[in-house]
Structure 1
């Protein structure tokens, strides 16, 4: 691979030679020299447009600045364009992970007790670049101090995917957003000093006034959608899985406050009662749901709501979960894991179409390297084409529900069409027929472009 083949540079962005430098073990920040911006013309590619199962054969795609200017089965020409011969590979939209925690990159107890905020920030930037190089050009962060990471990436200070940040999660006391040690006072009590966790990772709110305040505070900080805890969780130590969290009026308060800003609420919920209560309050995005039955599936179907499940947990063992989440989480983890396959079948059998791709891997940098394994687990019920849609155009449709708070309004994401953002992958083989190609991202994703900038290029 030769770095001179990458000639693209947009003012304020990182150079396309980043990919070559990364492969040779150098920092992605090592080359910051200004270069003139040229169009990029992809030739000899088969295009998966993010929607249709049939690829556009022998196509040409022109990128000008950070947008796709033209897609054609006929030859294209552009003055001074850099030509990239795809060699019959598949050109597809960049991947979207609709539920990640970009800053929870170490065991939760360590982040709470043993590391300061500078460590969090430094490690998060490293893991963000790795995520981009796994092919994920956009993510929806489901809670944590990722707003600052988003700003750093957008300003060219760090390398990583686009981030739709939720800011601090909102949880009732003793809910899934509760990570205090037993003797730690409530952060909302008179005279208490909130920890970094309670200032940037999770807000505790009880009653409608506190729920309104914390929702509005998350929006003030820069959240583009709101994350609320509506049921028991695995990583939290004090709330059993069966618990239902957030009174109907509290959930509705968050929904209404978010709607006033033109955006929506996503809720953490595993079981039917949490799912149904949330949907009745106006929630449109159910995260996880592995313990749901036909009741929960029907509620999601009837409301035309979204389900954002993850199945990466099928490849994890109890010891790995305990290491990342804490000793009290092992039994809860196994319960959720046991429900995952049943949930997949329910989603498929009920014909639920609003399904987005997500992984929700937290607390272990080694586990994060297996983010792309999610593609193979979904093959148990979905086709390769359906899974690719979930990870491109469908996920983009969900993220766009943030409305006027959407940080990326210049064009659509998750598709290859005129006017869309130039977030592109060049893949060896045909992932529309065999999505497992994306599991081995190092070998099979030969080029990664985000916002018109090339971050990896292993073509000769």
Structure 2
């Protein structure tokens, strides 16, 4: 081979290598054309717009023609393009009755069933969720690594409960997992930690962080699904709650609490808690405290769709009265949140223990419309919930862009909805017929337009 031939060969090799490198660096693009954009923030849709997605982020939103040759084009046909939905209080691993999961199934069953339900949740339009307790870290990793399909998960890890608190699911004669000689079960190790006193609360909080929690979940008041804690109880002493808050803050994240009554809400706020979850038994006293402290409220209202007979049959004589009491406070809670002008309200459903009930996740929109406008409810399920997720600070598992908005640099989590949900959010309940395209992280998982 002469010099000129060698030179040409080297040049060809360099060109091919550079071309291959360029091809690898070039991210796939999808152009949504002929859409009306609800950006998650503004009530007025951006009419006759186009949205360009590059890789897993939104590159451009414009009412002008976007020049992107070679791009995959999706003609929205005048549909509403909006952010993927966010459910701020779910339990991805608790998809069967708690007693069955605790006593009758092993951890592989948990994993298999939760993977199936995760894909169904994504196909209901929920592209991100905040898991409020349970072994969701493994599922999160499987989804993030492309081994499973589902929403992006902000995991809390095992909930932290006092002994005799809402995180208590031991049999009556079962020894305390923290007592000498006792052997913690899978349930105690991955679903709930029992902690009493500041040292144990600190240890439990730090252990949840070690496991990969993006925020901390603490049981600060009585609940329905546990049998040993009446609704009126206030759980954890002020110094115990403060310990969890401070330990979480040292990791640049926050604490969310399970609470219902005023006393629990007030104690949690005074301790520095940032997210008050449920709170259906709140009164004007805690409504004012929430307003003054400027903290988040994460209620759920799908419980309004259950009648007393159904509840009694499903929950039995111990839990049913507690459920009905919580249900009785829900509409008053909605009224208070609206009257006090509390804006930091996020969308959540907290449906656990029943795959059939999970199919009703989108019905939450229907009940919130009793008090809020369609636009307000949509914000709660998009941009506002996205703001709440971002409180996890440096522990945010998805730091590349904001969630819950359609904007340049935001994650490409997108729904194409047949109709205008800003005017009528009730159409969000029929996700099978009205959600024509679902994209998460730049990947299309449902497309009925083809």
Cα distance 1:191–1:322, how it changes in 2: closer, same or farther (>3 A)?
Answer: farther
1:346-425 aligned at under 5 Å gives the runs: 346-425=336-415
1:216-227 aligned at under 5 Å gives the runs: 216-227=206-217
| 2:101 aligned partner | 111
| 2:262 aligned partner | 272
Contact 1:140 1:163 survives alignment (8 Å): yes
| 1:183 aligned partner | 173
- How much is the aligned-residue C-alpha RMSD, in angstroms? 1.3
1:189-200 aligned at under 5 Å gives the runs: 189-200=179-190
| 2:299 aligned partner | 309
1:191 and 1:322 mapped to 2: Cα distance?
39
Does residue 49 of structure 2 align to residue 59 of structure 1? yes
1:15-94 aligned at under 5 Å gives the runs: 38-94=28-84
| Structure 1: gaps spanning 5 or more residues | 1-35
- Please report the TM-score for the alignment, with normalisation by the length of structure 2: 0.93
| Structure 2: gaps spanning 5 or more residues | 1-25
SS at match of 1:235: coil
| 2:140 aligned partner | 150
Deviation at 1:317, TM superposition (A): 3.5
Query: Could you list the runs of 4 or more consecutive aligned residues of structure 1 that deviate by over 3 angstroms after TM superposition?
Result: 317-327
SS at match of 1:258: helix
Cα distance 1:141–1:326, how it changes in 2: closer, same or farther (>3 A)?
Answer: farther
Deviation at 1:319, TM superposition (A): 5.6
Deviation at 1:101, TM superposition (A): 0.3
Cα distance 1:324–1:376, how it changes in 2: closer, same or farther (>3 A)?
Answer: same
The structure with the largest alpha-carbon Rg is: 2
Deviation at 1:316, TM superposition (A): 2.3
How many residues are paired up? 426
Deviation at 1:79, TM superposition (A): 2.3
Contact 1:50 1:416 survives alignment (8 Å): yes
Deviation at 1:324, TM superposition (A): 6.1
Q: Which structure shows the higher helix fraction?
A: 2
2:354 and 2:441 mapped to 1: Cα distance?
29
SS at match of 1:120: helix
1:87 and 1:424 mapped to 2: Cα distance?
15
Contact 1:49 1:415 survives alignment (8 Å): yes
- Please report the TM-score for the alignment, with normalisation by the length of structure 1: 0.91
Contact 1:66 1:422 survives alignment (8 Å): yes
